[in-house]
Amino acid sequence: MDHIDLYSLREQLSRHRILLCFNGPISQSLIEEIGNALKNYLQVEQIQPSAAMDVFGVYIELTQNIRQYALARGYGEHEAAATVSVARDELGHYIVQAGNLVEAEDGRALLARVADLAGRDKSELKALYKEQLRRPRETQAGVGAGLGLIDVARKAAQPLCASLTPVDEQRAFLSLRAVI
Amino acid sequence: MTDLSIPSSQSTPAVEGVWEQGLLRMEGDSYPENSFDFFSPVILWIEGFLTRTQRPLTLELRLIYMNTSSVKAMMDIFDMLEEAHREGRQVRVRWRYDPRNERVVEMAEDFREDCTFAFDIEADEADEARGAY
């Protein structure tokens, strides 16, 4: 087995100004622990409390969406995995990215949803959020990531980006990116 | 008749229901994986209070970050209060927030838009001394 070149991994993390990253099976308690680490970073950086809460909120919604999706699809513990990174760009924006394996069909539906949200302004997003909030729980598809995604779009400073990388015949890796 | 007391956890707020005073307090962050489970006893307590007494009910909230499923559960609670208010009951919400965090105000205002009962959103200067977020 090849040795992992930790130095080059470190270089790559530094180059992308990544504060925090995680890859592997994810549970609610792990989401909370990583969330704690994130809160501490944000406190050290002394950013506005409201901005810190937005970054934290986007991280929570994206990772909980991944958990919900895996549960809804009946994935096993190892398939309920996530790849998450939080970075800070030169302009001081925080970039939260979260990815997971999905059924290719679900992934395509989500890309369409993200594209739809990207075309809406803040007041339209608010109206959509309220409409979704009023929808009964039973009619909210577990795989649609409805309310959470709109919430992330409302908190983001730029339209959300999503990409899909095919892994095999059925599955693809879905990656979502929010700039706050 | 029965008081409610749920200690806070990493991802759930502290909840305290004082039956005699008609007072329900909630304080902290709320982002459990299953908000429906967490909020069920709170919803039952309010429901019990509204059906078994005719006394006024006040909610004192110091909720900070809420994930979307907690927001949904909270909306269910405010809908119950709204219904009671329309039937002539005296209900009131006081939402206190750290003045450095205007995002909490926006969230509280989002809720207030759909309510016609007394809903106060008040800056709490005492929070200045504390360091949250």
Asked if pLDDT for residue A139 goes beyond 70, the answer is: no
**Percent of chain B clearing pLDDT 90 (strictly above):** 89
Chain A residues near residue B10 by CB distance under 8 angstroms: 32, 36
B130 touches chain A (CB under 8 A): no
For residue A143, the model assigns a pLDDT of 45
Q: What is the pLDDT of residue A4?
A: 85
Residues on chain B touching A28 (C-beta within 8 angstroms) = 11, 32-33
- Verify whether the Cβ–Cβ distance B68 to A151 is below 8 Å: yes
Q: Which of B33, B36, B103 sits opposite A28 (nearest CB)?
A: B33
Q: What is the pLDDT of residue A62?
A: 97
Contact A56 B65 (CB under 8 A): yes
Task: Return d(Cα A68, Cα B63) in angstroms, integer.
Answer: 24
Average confidence (pLDDT) over B62-83: 96
Q: How many CB pairs under 8 A join A and B?
A: 61
A49·B101 Cβ contact <8 A: yes
Tell me which DSSP letter residue A91 carries.
T
pLDDT in tens, B77-105: 999 999 999 999 999 999 999 999 999 99
User: Among the listed ranges A26-35, A135-144, B15-24, B74-83, which one has the minimum average pLDDT value?
Assistant: A135-144
For residue A44, the distance in angstroms to the closest alpha carbon of chain B comes to: 10
Q: Does A40 touch chain B (CB under 8 A)?
A: no
Contact B132 A56 (CB under 8 A): no
Q: Where are the domains of chain B?
A: 4-130
Strands (E), A37-170: 81-88, 94-103, 161-166
Nearest to B33 among A42, A67, A147 (CB): A67
Give percent of chain B with pLDDT exceeding 70.
Answer: 93
**Angle made by CA atoms A135, A136, A138, in degrees to the nearest 5:** 125
Structure tokens at A28: 């609610």
Which residue of chain A has the CA closest to B98?
A: A49
- The two tokens of residue A23 are 């890859």
Distances (CA, A) of A160 to A73, A103, B30, B117: 24, 21, 24, 36
Residues A15-27 have pLDDT tens digits of: 999 999 999 999 9
For residue B69, the chain A residues in CB contact (below 8 A) are 64, 147
What pLDDT is recorded for position A142?
47
Q: Are B18 and B3 in contact (CB under 8 A)?
A: yes
Q: pLDDT tens for residues A42-92?
A: 999 888 999 999 999 999 999 999 999 999 899 987 778 999 999 999 999
| Residue-wise pLDDT tens digits, A108-125 | 999 999 999 999 999 999
Given a cut of 60, whether residue B47 has pLDDT beyond it is: yes
Range scoring the smallest mean pLDDT among A141-145, B8-12, B62-66:
A141-145
Q: For A61, which of B67, B103, B133 is closest by C-beta distance?
A: B67
What percent of chain A is predicted at pLDDT more than 70? 94
pLDDT number for residue A36 = 95
> B2 in contact with A at a CB cutoff of 8 Å?
no
What pLDDT does A108 receive? Answer: 95
Under an 8 A CB cutoff, do B98 and A49 touch? yes
Q: Is the pLDDT of residue A140 over 70?
A: no
B26 C-beta neighbours (distance < 10 Å), count: 23
> Across chain A, what does the average pLDDT equal?
91
- The ipTM is 0.91
Structure confidence at residue B128 (pLDDT): 56
User: Which CATH number among 1.10.1060.10, 3.30.750.24, 2.40.128.280, 3.20.190.10 corresponds to the domain B4-130?
Assistant: 3.30.750.24
B28: pLDDT strictly greater than 90 = yes
Give the whole-number percent of chain A exceeding pLDDT 90: 82
Q: With an 8 Å Cβ cutoff, is A73 touching chain B?
A: no
Average pLDDT over residues B32-46: 95
Least CB–CB distance from A53: residue in B11, B36, B65:
B65
Whether B19 has its CB under 8 Å from any CB of chain A: the answer is no
Q: What is the pLDDT of residue B6?
A: 97
